[in-house]
Structure 1
């Protein structure tokens, strides 16, 4: 049967893998929606937050969860930065391959180290600095410096999704010092919903039944990814979580090649490996134990 510790570890690994699958299928489904319909990234973002906020409000009233905040500023920072991270990711997916867009988004731990150093005076250790350097070299391989003159705006937006996601994690850490996890999640989803409403106020197009169904599935996949990731970090270490989470890079790339015939160059593979190495190196220094109840940027 194995020891209880081993069983708990296996549960953590299973949750982590389910999280990877959920987020990967979300990215792929977003790309599929871009290819088969005229639905905009802004509308996909709207459905993402609409469904999520609906679920959160339902939980709040059914289980009578309190949502009074002790520090509104940090919650606003968290909500806005997370909204931008999601929006930039969906826009990037619509402009470049799902593989590259996902890879850029997965650079967020690199930016957590830099942003935390400058915004909350968290020490940038030699290990963290090495990780940041390796990560940026990986990004250069993905972009390919010899093609800077032909740099696609989608690459820039994809990288912005990583930067804003990094800021969202730092904001989460600040907010978690004064507010409960559910309160943070409530404002996080609520702010995202309000901003996505404003963004689509004059451009929203009612989707067909089929597309609406796919949009709802997309939002549910994101919620499931958040749920599984939240519980996974209760059983696995930061490094273990980073290693398994990095599998999302390869899983999305595999599905992108299989379903959309996306091209994966040698420079993209090298860049991916460097970014994964950077994520694994830097994760022990991110103090995930302090924010593990809500580690996801989605």
Structure 2
């Protein structure tokens, strides 16, 4: 049996890798949107759904957990799929308009919405400190979206926030579905309905894409699929709070890449608002320690911080 430190190091490296892969996916979509406008959010969602469906079928198909019948027959599974597909499309559509770093910051507010929805629907208790941190997060969000006088609050920001709310709903639905459905079916619902919603909108344009468009969109879809698997594996060997903390590096890694490759910048007010929002989101998402908790054996929170896109 390996010592705990070895497990922690492995989990840390896997979680860090997942952050880099998530950021790479976003930056790839930002790059292709600049050179190939027809490869928009709906097109990216179509490719992600298709590649994701193939991956989940390979991992969980043929009697290993995936239930195709539940994708249509279960109302909750279908609802998870539809809302998840719309949330992903909303995130992908805002990347070209807002820039990769701004879109990621807005999307990562979803744990706050998930906590509020879980309190209302699942009757999960929300502590006073969590409520205060949520208020701080919303204050930071207002500062962030209004921190650039030349940009202001646009409809794209509103769409990004709607996507974050949708992602919060999805997190709660996943928590509910885990009681009855296999993980493969839950994930496949997102892929299935991404295809169902995006195909009528972009299916006819798929054949018009150049070879580089195919390679980039497929590459981005494969990367995000691998990043989900890597992140899930990392959580098996490390505390949720530590994993959540590492995942909060995603905006920093994305912003660094967006600055280096696309010249994206934040004003000082935007930076302050983003920092407050992300820190508050992390404080809401990480688990509270019980008096007798030890490192690596914390009380699992109702919600984990994990990028929905």
Tell me the TM-score normalised to structure 2 length. 0.87
2:264 to 252, 256, 262: 262
Asked if the contact 1:288/1:295 (under 8 Å) is kept, the reply is no
Which residue in 2 is equivalent to 1:249?
Answer: 251
Which residue in 2 is equivalent to 1:223?
Answer: 225
Partner-residue secondary structure (3-state), 1:200: helix
Which residue in 1 is equivalent to 2:21?
Answer: 22
CA distance in 1, matches of 2:44, 2:183: 25
Question: In structure 2, do the counterparts of structure 1 residues 54 and 149 end up closer, same or farther at CA, with 3 Å as the change threshold?
Answer: closer
Which residue in 1 is equivalent to 2:118?
Answer: 116
Which residue in 2 is equivalent to 1:197?
Answer: 199
Q: 1:94 Cα shift?
A: 1.6
Whether 2:19 is the aligned partner of 1:33: answer: no
Partner-residue secondary structure (3-state), 1:178: coil
Which residue in 2 is equivalent to 1:45?
Answer: 45
Question: In structure 2, do the counterparts of structure 1 residues 172 and 120 end up closer, same or farther at CA, with 3 Å as the change threshold?
Answer: same
Asked if the contact 1:82/1:188 (under 8 Å) is kept, the reply is yes
Q: 1:263 Cα shift?
A: 1.6
5+ long unaligned stretches in structure 1:
none
CA distance in 1, matches of 2:266, 2:215: 30
Whether 2:54 is the aligned partner of 1:54: answer: yes
Whether 2:175 is the aligned partner of 1:173: answer: yes
Q: 1:73 Cα shift?
A: 1.9
CA distance in 2, matches of 1:58, 1:206: 28
- Cα RMSD of the aligned pairs, angstroms, is 2.6
CA distances 1:88-131 after superposition (whole Å, capped 9, x unpaired): 11111021121100100111111111111122222222122122
CA distance in 2, matches of 1:8, 1:138: 35
1:184 to 183, 186, 194: 186
Question: In structure 2, do the counterparts of structure 1 residues 169 and 144 end up closer, same or farther at CA, with 3 Å as the change threshold?
Answer: same
How do 1:265-284 and structure 2 match up within 5 A?
A: 265-284=267-286
Tell me the TM-score normalised to structure 1 length. 0.90
CA distance in 1, matches of 2:122, 2:244: 23
Question: In structure 2, do the counterparts of structure 1 residues 252 and 296 end up closer, same or farther at CA, with 3 Å as the change threshold?
Answer: closer
Question: In structure 2, do the counterparts of structure 1 residues 244 and 297 end up closer, same or farther at CA, with 3 Å as the change threshold?
Answer: same
1:126 to 118, 125, 128: 128
Question: In structure 2, do the counterparts of structure 1 residues 270 and 146 end up closer, same or farther at CA, with 3 Å as the change threshold?
Answer: closer
Which residue in 2 is equivalent to 1:12?
Answer: 11
CA distance in 2, matches of 1:140, 1:66: 42
Asked if the contact 1:110/1:131 (under 8 Å) is kept, the reply is no
Asked if the contact 1:45/1:87 (under 8 Å) is kept, the reply is yes
Asked if the contact 1:111/1:163 (under 8 Å) is kept, the reply is yes
CA distances 1:251-271 after superposition (whole Å, capped 9, x unpaired): 111111111011221112112
Whether 2:308 is the aligned partner of 1:297: answer: yes
Question: In structure 2, do the counterparts of structure 1 residues 280 and 229 end up closer, same or farther at CA, with 3 Å as the change threshold?
Answer: same
How do 1:227-242 and structure 2 match up within 5 A?
A: 227-242=229-244
Q: How many residues were matched structurally?
A: 296
Q: 1:59 Cα shift?
A: 3.0
Q: 1:33 Cα shift?
A: 0.7
